[in-house]
Amino acid sequence: MLVELSKLHSTRLLRTFYHITRNWHDAEDALQEATLRAFSHLKDFQGKSSFSTWLTRIAINSALTTLRKKRGCYEIPFEGIDDSADNYE
């Protein structure tokens, strides 16, 4: 059941994730994480809101978690490093 529902909403969620993360790879990671979270918490869905609203809230939280994890991670390209400063003559 969840697989069919998540497939139904995955395109919209992926666009939402991309809007939040500005990175397709992170958006795909967040979608996978959201699907896993929704599956593991499906028993907690009470029907007070639509399934789409519930899944979207999980999705947004997953995207924000992905951003928080990457916040402290800086990437430095090797091409931009000047090795000449390390040569002490």
pLDDT at 47: 82
How far apart CA 85 and CA 68 sit, in angstroms, is 34
Burial of 32-67, coded b for 16+ CB within 10 Å and e otherwise, reads ebbbebbeeeeeeeeeeeebeebbbebbbebbeebe
Q: What pTM was estimated for this model as a whole?
A: 0.62
- Residue 70 burial by Cβ neighbours in a 10 Å radius (0-12, 13-18, 19+): middle
Q: Which domain holds residue 59?
A: 1-41+50-69
Residue-wise pLDDT for 17-36, tens only, equals: 888 888 888 888 888 888 88
Number of structural domains (the chain) is 1
- Residue 37 is assigned to a structural domain of this protein: yes
Whether residue 25 lies inside any domain: the answer is yes
pLDDT in tens, 1-18: 556 766 777 888 888 888
Note whether residue 59 is domain-resident: yes
pLDDT band at 89 (very low <50, low <70, confident <90, very high): very low
- How high does pLDDT run on average in the chain? 75
In a domain, 15, yes or no: yes
Confidence (pLDDT) at 73: 59
Whole-Å CA distances, 88 to 48, 82, 83, 84? 68, 14, 11, 9
Q: Amino acid identity, residue 21?
A: T
